[in-house]
Amino acid sequence: MSRSERLLDLIQCLRRHRRPVSGQVLADQLGVSIRTLYRDIATLQGQGAPIEGEAGLGYVLKPGFLLPPLMFTDEEIEAIVLGSRWVAKQPDLRLSAAAANALAKIAAVLPDDLREDLDASTLLVGPPMTAIEGIDLGIVRQAIRHERKLGFLYRDAGGAASQRVVWPFALGFFDKVRVVVAWCEMRQDFRHFRTDRISALDAIDARYPRRRQALLKEWRATLDRPRGP
């Protein structure tokens, strides 16, 4: 177990006790020596954790303490790095930049040992597939966040064009394509729209009449049902 994981486990142990608990009990629960336990308590206190008490009297974590986001396990760091690196290579330029910025902010507040783990991660993302986006995916993401309608011209696999007004509630990222998942007013049903077939995108300043979460739940229940363009 790494030191960062041990500190995380110590916080969780303290959370399970509402009254002061002796250092020896905590050390036994964590499987460490009492000297190591005292050093870990001092480290957490130095990082701002409101742990009260002292050796011989016991320790208690004050209510309301939220675990700092800098406390990650080794596998959590690998997941963060791998996910950020993948997003950073996507054609959505604003999302790509946001992933790189988020990773830099996380690195800036990590303890030294965790920052080294983050920098040395050997989980790599291959080169992105060639993708041509004719629209700004940031507009789509904003419409999803604010539950706003979108209008656009859509061409199906055969090249036939149609004007659509949709209620977007999800955006799928695949290796070769991005897909807008939405309720289509013309079809009166859920539809999947490849972003490379969308043009003349228009952000409509009108909120669609249902909540995004409700649409997502209903769409998931209908995934086995075939649907056209």
Clarify whether residues 45 and 80 are in a common domain. Answer: no
Clarify whether residues 37 and 113 are in a common domain. Answer: no
Clarify whether residues 159 and 191 are in a common domain. Answer: yes
Instruction: State residue 3's pLDDT score.
Output: 77
Clarify whether residues 141 and 193 are in a common domain. Answer: yes
Distance CA 70, CA 47 (A): 10
Clarify whether residues 174 and 213 are in a common domain. Answer: yes
Clarify whether residues 178 and 151 are in a common domain. Answer: yes
Instruction: State residue 227's pLDDT score.
Output: 58
Nearest-5° Cα angle at 168, 166 to 172:
130
Distance CA 163, CA 154 (A): 6
Instruction: State residue 181's pLDDT score.
Output: 97
Quick check: is 115 in a domain? yes
Provide the domain count of the chain: 3
Closest by CA position to 210, among listed 164, 169, 179, 181: 169
Instruction: State residue 77's pLDDT score.
Output: 80
Ramachandran angles phi, psi of 226, nearest 5°: -65, 145
Quick check: is 20 in a domain? yes
Instruction: State residue 204's pLDDT score.
Output: 97
Clarify whether residues 145 and 192 are in a common domain. Answer: yes
Instruction: State residue 107's pLDDT score.
Output: 77
Quick check: is 227 in a domain? no
Q: CATH number of the domain that 211 lies in?
A: 2.30.30
Clarify whether residues 143 and 209 are in a common domain. Answer: yes
Q: CATH number of the domain that 28 lies in?
A: 1.10.10.10
The answer to whether the beta carbons of residues 186 and 202 sit under 8 Å apart is no
Positions of the chain with pLDDT under 50: none
Domain closes at, from 18, 33, 61: 61
Clarify whether residues 151 and 217 are in a common domain. Answer: yes
Quick check: is 81 in a domain? yes
The answer to whether the beta carbons of residues 140 and 195 sit under 8 Å apart is yes
Instruction: State residue 54's pLDDT score.
Output: 82
Closest by CA position to 27, among listed 66, 53, 58, 2: 58
Distance CA 53, CA 103 (A): 36
Clarify whether residues 158 and 209 are in a common domain. Answer: yes
Cβ contacts of 192 within 8 Å, gap of 6 or more: 172, 179, 180, 181, 227
Instruction: State residue 163's pLDDT score.
Output: 97
Range of the domain at 196: 137-221
Cβ contacts of 70 within 8 Å, gap of 6 or more: 106, 109, 110, 111, 114
Quick check: is 111 in a domain? yes
Closest by CA position to 182, among listed 191, 195, 173: 191
Rounded to two decimals, what is the model's pTM? Answer: 0.62
Quick check: is 129 in a domain? no
Instruction: State residue 126's pLDDT score.
Output: 78
Clarify whether residues 57 and 81 are in a common domain. Answer: no
Quick check: is 132 in a domain? no
Instruction: State residue 129's pLDDT score.
Output: 63
- Identify the helix (H) or strand (E) that includes residue 151: strand 148-155
Domain closes at, from 119, 154, 188: 119
Quick check: is 125 in a domain? no
The answer to whether the beta carbons of residues 59 and 44 sit under 8 Å apart is no
Instruction: State residue 75's pLDDT score.
Output: 80
